[in-house]
């Protein structure tokens, strides 16, 4: 079973709300799906991880179709990408999608040139690869980008406005998931399965970090989970987009998706919906935010 992150081609304003990439974090291959995650471990975390297999073969080719289609997925024996820019690949590999949390990807070619990637592990490493959780697979993506695109990055912490996700006064209104885990094809560490897109969100087996990441993309500001909830939940969330939240347009490198259904103009704001429908609450604070700084990136080496 391929676990995919697939996104719509349609452009629209951020007021209709971002649902990105980015992977993550169980998702099945379907148009308009997304899988938001917490950031993957940075370069410093690699020393604390088990020895990871390497991709035995990796084809990196420029996408000449330029038809707007794009997809990224972990396959049963490796990693596949179609029509992805370097910006997208970096965002997916590190789980950093918010515009203000990534620095150094401003060159035009990093968003305009698209690539197809097909990477596979050796058959002797197949069992190990299939047992890896999502973050460890992302470390393999990072290593691939370092090898083929000469990517070098570092992390910095900066004080920024954030939202903190906490329990509302009367406690959560969340239903424990009865369908997760979904079986042997599910990658460990995935944060949930999103069935529909903004502003009508339906999630199956979602964790609170998964929800926090989704809200980060929707609100354009980092959301930190402090609910203390550690389970997986099935829930629905319906709200009306706030035009004041349309900050800077599309997330660089990603087309914005069209709403599955037009929002009810008399419906609740996302802040009210979270409290009334999920029994949670967003509080505005300031706190440290991890910034991904790209020090170097080059056009890919030949296959």
User: Which residues of the chain fall short of a pLDDT of 70?
Assistant: 1-50, 180-198, 243-265
Please tell me whether residue 243 adopts helix, strand or coil conformation.
Answer: helix
Count of positions (residues) in the chain: 303
Establish if 204 belongs to a structural domain.
yes
Long-range contacts of 138-141 (CB under 8 A, 24+ apart): 138/40, 138/41, 138/92, 138/93, 138/94, 138/95, 139/40, 139/41, 139/45, 139/46, 139/49, 139/52, 140/52, 140/53, 140/54, 140/55, 140/79, 141/79, 141/89, 141/92, 141/93
Q: Which of these, 301, 293, 298, 302, lies nearest to 107 by C-alpha position? A: 298
**pTM for the structure as a whole:** 0.71
What is the model's pLDDT at position 187?
56
Establish if 303 belongs to a structural domain.
no
What is the model's pLDDT at position 297?
97
% of the chain beyond a pLDDT of 90: 55
- Strand 280-296 vs strand 152-167: parallel, antiparallel, or unpaired? antiparallel
Q: How is residue 80 written in tokens?
A: 């596949």
State how far the alpha carbon of 171 is from the alpha carbons of 164, 215, 227, 268, 277, in Å. 16, 19, 10, 19, 11
Establish if 188 belongs to a structural domain.
yes
What is the model's pLDDT at position 49?
59
**Cα separation, 142 vs 43, whole angstroms:** 9
Establish if 301 belongs to a structural domain.
no
Q: Which of these, 24, 279, 265, 6, lies nearest to 137 by C-alpha position? A: 24
For 86-112, b/e burial (b = at least 16 CB within 10 A) is: bbbbbbbbbbbbbbebbebbeeeebbe
Q: Which of these, 32, 55, 9, 105, lies nearest to 303 by C-alpha position? A: 55
How many independent structural domains does the chain possess?
A: 1
The distance from CA 274 to its chain's CA centroid, rounded to whole angstroms, is 20
What is the model's pLDDT at position 134?
85
Establish if 268 belongs to a structural domain.
yes
Establish if 231 belongs to a structural domain.
yes
Q: How is residue 169 written in tokens?
A: 């006064």
Establish if 302 belongs to a structural domain.
no
For 243-278, b/e burial (b = at least 16 CB within 10 A) is: eebeeeeebbbbebbbbeeebeeeebebbebbbebb
Establish if 274 belongs to a structural domain.
yes
Structural domain range at position 169: 3-296
């Amino acid at each position: 079973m391929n676990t995919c992150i697939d996104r719509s081609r349609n452009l629209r304003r951020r007021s209709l709300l971002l649902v990105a990439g980015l992977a993550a974090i169980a998702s099945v291959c379907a148009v308009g799906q997304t899988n938001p995650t917490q950031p993957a471990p940075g370069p410093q975390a690699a020393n604390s991880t088990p020895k990871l297999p390497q991709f035995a073969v990796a084809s990196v080719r420029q996408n000449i179709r330029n038809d707007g289609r794009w997809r990224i997925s972990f396959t049963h024996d490796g990693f596949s990408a179609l029509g992805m820019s370097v910006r997208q690949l970096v965002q997916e590999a590190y789980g950093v999608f918010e515009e203000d949390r990534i620095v150094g990807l401003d060159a035009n070619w990093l968003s305009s040139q698209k690539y197809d990637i097909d990477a596979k592990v050796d058959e002797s490493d197949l069992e190990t690869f299939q047992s890896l959780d999502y973050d460890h697979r992302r470390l393999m993506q990072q290593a691939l980008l370092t090898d083929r695109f000469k990517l070098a990055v570092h992390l910095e912490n900066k004080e920024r406005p954030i939202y903190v996700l906490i329990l509302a006064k009367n406690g959560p209104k969340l239903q424990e998931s009865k369908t997760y885990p979904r079986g042997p094809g599910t990658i460990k560490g995935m944060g949930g399965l999103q069935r529909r897109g903004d502003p009508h969100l339906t999630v199956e087996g979602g964790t609170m970090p998964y929800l926090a990441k989704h809200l980060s993309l929707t609100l354009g500001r980092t959301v930190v989970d402090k609910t203390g909830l550690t389970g997986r939940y099935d829930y629905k969330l319906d709200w009306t987009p706030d035009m004041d939240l349309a900050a800077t347009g599309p997330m660089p490198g990603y087309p914005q998706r069209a709403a599955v259904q037009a929002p009810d103009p008399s419906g609740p704001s996302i802040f009210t919906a979270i409290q009334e429908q999920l029994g949670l609450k967003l509080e505005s604070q300031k706190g440290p935010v991890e910034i991904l700084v790209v020090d170097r990136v080059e056009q890919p080496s030949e296959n």
